Amino acid sequence: MLIDTHGHVNFNAFREDADEVLQRALADDTWVIMPGSQYSTSKKAVEIAGNYEKGVYAAIGLHPVHTGEKREVDVMETQGGTSFTTKEEKFDLKSYRSLLYASKDGQRFFQNRKVVAIGEVGLDYYRLPKNKEAREKEKITQKNVLREQIELALEFDLPIILHCRAAHENLLEVLEAPTAKLQTAKLRGVLHSYTGSAEQAQKFLEMGLYIGFNGLIFKEVLALPEPAEVISSIPLERILLETDSPYLTPPQAIVGTDPTMRNEPLFVKYVAEEIARIKGISVEEVASATTANAKTLFRLI
Ligand SMILES: [Zn+2]
């Protein structure tokens, strides 16, 4: 069994066939956690997860690219120049908080157990606005919105799914800075789609965080300077598997020559195989350890 801890089946790319995609994964003994990146996709994730008895879960959060001024950004430079327009969403704690409750007989009073994390949230300094003043302003906004969402995670005793691009030192600063409510000792979570160095990874591990890997570990997709070095330095007990669908399709899953071909949770098996190859262990060992890790962190039952 495998768990794709980061598959956006709640995104528009799956609007036509989200259920088929999820059924395909479940039939292959693969569970899925769908993180939101703004209010609408968070809500969608909660709705989809609610239709499944088991194996499909939601996370809710506001992604750092959507906190600043509206602009066109790249998804991933190696993926055929795909781009999207950011949402310029103001973080509204109340709306997100309401997604954490399930209603029963018209009353909202208990925590929805299908919402297993706050995410994806974090810092993205790679895709900031061009204008210098706007850049600085947005860095501050991103940090503030991140802090608010960490506090939400702590309040509900949920783990966080962290996104971080070109801002690893800044993220460490935020996580290490104590605020009245932000006690990092209690903070649980994963740094997803890891692109930092082996050295930086140690600092996140010391904080108790897990590290998530996806198609970026394949040379053909891009992107870590030395995937083997980074992966070797992280114990299996702290690794989570993910796809980041619909992005970052593993080369083994690509039919034809289109690198922008849609990724899906079913393909998380290729990430497991690559980690097994790098660590020189069996795929079964990677599967059982990472599945146990995900079940522990997200308290999946
Ligand atoms: Zn994502």
In CATH terms, the fold of domain 2-298 is TIM Barrel (3.20.20)
Pairwise CA distance, residues 86 & 84, whole Å: 6
Between 288 and 176, the more confident residue is 288
pLDDT grade for 77, boundaries at 50, 70 and 90 = very low
CA angle (194 as vertex; 54, 36 as ends), nearest 5:
45
Q: What is the pLDDT of residue 80?
A: 40
Rounded distance from Cα 144 to ligand 1 centre (Å)? 20
Between 296 and 68, residue with greater pLDDT: 296
Whole-angstrom distance, CA of residue 2 vs CA of residue 24: 13
Residue 97 C-alpha to ligand 1 middle, in angstroms? 20
Q: Kindly report the number of other CB atoms within 10 A of residue 296's CB atom.
A: 13
How far apart, in whole angstroms, are the C-alpha atoms of residue 29 and residue 176? 37
pLDDT for residue 67 is more than 80: yes
Residues 217-259: pLDDT tens digits? 987 666 556 789 999 999 999 999 999 999 999 988 888 877 7
Among candidate residues 118, 172, 171, the one with its CA nearest the CA of residue 142: 171
For ligand 1, the distance from its centroid to the CA atom of residue 7, given in whole angstroms, is: 7
Cα separation, 33 vs 142, whole angstroms: 24
- 100 vs 254, higher pLDDT: 100
pLDDT for 116 beyond 80 = yes
Instruction: Report pLDDT for 183.
Output: 64
- How many angstroms separate the alpha carbon of residue 137 from the centre of ligand 1? 24
User: How distant, in Å, are the alpha carbons of 33, 35, 175, 234 from that of 57?
Assistant: 5, 9, 25, 26
H or E stretch covering 173? helix 168-176
Ligand 1 centre to CA of 106 (Å) is: 32
SS3 132: helix
CA 53 to centroid of ligand 1, rounded, Å: 24
The more confidently predicted of residues 157 and 177 is 157
Tell whether the model's pLDDT for residue 124 goes beyond 70.
Answer: yes
Q: Compute, in angstroms, the gap from residue 120 CA to the centroid of ligand 1.
A: 6
Q: What is the CA(193)–ligand 1 centre distance, in A?
A: 8
pLDDT digits (tens, 9 = 90+) for 141-167: 999 999 999 999 999 999 999 999 999
Is the overall model pTM greater than 0.95, yes or no? no
- CA of 133 from ligand 1 middle (Å) equals 27
**129, pLDDT greater than 70:** yes
For the CA atoms of 18, 22, 23, 24, the dihedral, rounded to the nearest 10 degrees, stands at: 110
Domain ranges for the chain: 2-298
β-strand pairing of 115-124 with 56-60: parallel
Cα–ligand 1 centroid distance for 291 (angstroms):
19
pLDDT of 19: 98
Taking the alpha carbons at both ends of the chain, their separation in whole angstroms is: 14
Q: How far is residue 220 from each of residues 213, 249, 250, 256, measured CA to CA in Å? A: 15, 10, 8, 14
Q: Distance, CA 196 to ligand 1 centroid (Å)?
A: 16
